[in-house]
Structure 1
Amino acid sequence: MMEKVVLILIVIINGVFAFKFVKDILNNKNEMKQEPGSNIFLSISSAIIFFLSTFGISDFAISTILYRKKNLVSDKKLPGTLNTQCVIPVAVMALAYISVIKVDPITLIVCIVAQIIGAYIGPRFVVKLEPKVIRKFISIGLLVATAFILAGKFNLVPSGGTATGLSGIKLAVAAICLFVYGALNNIGIGSYSLTMATIYALGMNPAVAFPIMMGACTFSVPIGSMEFIKYGEYGRKITAFTSTFGVIGVLVAVYLVKSLNVSMLQWVIAAILLYSGLSMLMNEIKAGKVQPQ
């Protein structure tokens, strides 16, 4: 019963986001047409990004590298874009994973509510940040994502246990962590790797990480994203393409691919994230040194 309620709420809250998003596009369609990015490129990249995201490979990290490389969105609007672009694809992921993988409903709800609160508070501060501050946060986020990938590859992160739920101190720790991750989403630091590491460390079944992280994101990200839409601080064209072709990538991953060995791909992604995070951080440090005193 509780599972059905959660699934219905996912549809409702993401339906509200979709309504506000479409309304904003209709009110700013001329501005959206002037945004960079070819239709073919955005269609293909959206499908690939969220195909990989379905397996837990951060769409925030990949999108950050791709969009900055192609100059598709300004650094100021990048955090908002990373959030709004994943709302609909992640909703599809959550509906699929929550239906398939069993998790204690109390644990799921507590984690979802905690991340919603963090996501709601976050955008009020993010939109006031200077672009250089956002770039520093993003570069650190890329390095953090790299660290978690490498920690998993070298077995430095606990492999998890068999529990499907939490209680007491462990549940409180999870709630605090998910609250922080909800806020971090709003500055372009994805919560997938962080949530997965937290679930492992608390002794839960690693598979449970998927409904929790997808479920938490599909409630918290729309909340924060509607704030970004309100302030107009996001890429409308990118979000429109990911909301359609990104969903196709998710459906292919969920329903057509039963298992995928992403071990080698994780090494490649880790190398790319490490290079991008370090280069972005070094560029900011160099820029700070040459500024007039």
Structure 2
Amino acid sequence: MVVVVLLGLLVLVNGTFAVKLVQDMATHRTEIFKEPGNNIAMSIYSFFLFLASTLGISDFAISMAVYPKTHWVSAKKMPGTLNIQCTISAAVMALAFVHSIKLDVITLVVPIVCQVLGSYLSPRYVVKLPAKTIKRVMAFGLFLAAAFILAGKFGLMPSGGNATSLRGWKLVVLGVTNFMWGALNNIGIGSYSTTMATVYALGLNPVAAFPIMMGSSGFSVPVGSMQFIKLDAYARKISLFSSIFCVLGVLVAVFVVKSLDIATIQWVVVVVIIYSAISMLHDSFKTTETQTA
């Protein structure tokens, strides 16, 4: 019964986000296609971005590597764009995973509620951060994403346990950390890998990571994204193409792609995101020097 309620709330929250996004796009329809970026390139990119994301390669990391080079999204609008562009795909994945895996209800609900709170409270502070600070935080997020990929490659990630429920201090730790992951998600540090590491470290069955990750993001991302829409802090053009083509990318990844060499792609992604993190850090310090001169 609780799972049915969660699924209903997922549809309600993400449906509300979709309505607000469409209303905002309609209000600013004359401005959307004045933003930088080739329509065809953005469409193709959005499709492959969420195909890769569904296969386990962070769309946050890829986008943070691509956008500074293409100039599609400014640093100030990067956090909002990263969240808004993935909201619909996160909802699709959440609907697929929350009902399919058995997990203690309290252990599922507590991290979801805490991550939603973190995601709701942080955007109003994120939009006030200087561009150089956002770049440095996102660079840290890229390094963190690379570290998690490499940790998985070399078997350094916690392997998890057999538990399907948490109580006491472990449940408190899960709630507090998910609150932080929800807040940091709005600055560009993706919550999937951090949530997975937390769940494993607390001894939950690795399979339990998926409903917690997807459920938390399925609720927290649209809540945070609606705040970014309200604050006019996102790039509309790439968000439009991503919202349209993300579902196609997810479906192709789930039903068509069977033998893609993800291991090789992950090595390439690690190199790209480390290079991008270094470039972003360099750019943030360069901006500071220019302003000081």
- TM-score, normalised by the number of residues in structure 2: 0.95
Aligned to 2:98: 98
Provide the rounded CA distance (Å) in 2 between the counterparts of 1:143 and 1:118: 22
RMSD: 1.6
> Kindly tell me: are residues 255 and 167 of structure 1, through their superposed partners in 2, closer, same or farther at Cα, counting changes over 3 Å?
farther
Q: Give the counterpart letter for 2:132 in structure 1.
A: K
Q: Give the counterpart letter for 2:281 in structure 1.
A: L
Question: 1:73-120 deviations in whole A, cap 9, x for unaligned?
Answer: 111111110011111111001111123222222111111100000001
Aligned to 1:262: 262
Aligned to 1:154: 154
> Kindly tell me: are residues 23 and 289 of structure 1, through their superposed partners in 2, closer, same or farther at Cα, counting changes over 3 Å?
closer
Gaps of 5+ in 2: none
Provide the rounded CA distance (Å) in 2 between the counterparts of 1:254 and 1:103: 23
Gaps of 5+ in 1: none
Q: CA deviation at 1:130?
A: 1.0
Q: Secondary structure at the match of 2:8?
A: helix
Aligned to 2:141: 141
Instruction: Give the % identical residues.
Output: 56
Tell me, yes or no, if the aligned pair for 1:89 and 1:242 is still in contact at 8 Å. Answer: no
Aligned to 1:191: 191
Aligned to 1:5: 5
Aligned to 2:180: 180
Provide the rounded CA distance (Å) in 1 between the counterparts of 2:217 and 2:259: 23
Provide the rounded CA distance (Å) in 2 between the counterparts of 1:36 and 1:63: 15
Tell me, yes or no, if the aligned pair for 1:195 and 1:209 is still in contact at 8 Å. Answer: yes
Matched, 1:35 2:35: yes
Aligned to 1:51: 51
Q: Paired residues, what number?
A: 293
Matched, 1:81 2:81: yes
Aligned to 2:18: 18
Q: Secondary structure at the match of 2:162?
A: coil
Tell me, yes or no, if the aligned pair for 1:117 and 1:182 is still in contact at 8 Å. Answer: yes
Which ranges of 4 or more aligned residues in structure 1 deviate by more than 4 Å?
A: 257-261
Tell me, yes or no, if the aligned pair for 2:126 and 2:187 is still in contact at 8 Å. Answer: yes
Q: Secondary structure at the match of 1:100?
A: coil
Tell me, yes or no, if the aligned pair for 1:56 and 1:193 is still in contact at 8 Å. Answer: no
> Kindly tell me: are residues 193 and 238 of structure 1, through their superposed partners in 2, closer, same or farther at Cα, counting changes over 3 Å?
same
Q: Give the counterpart letter for 2:7 in structure 1.
A: L
Q: Secondary structure at the match of 1:178?
A: helix
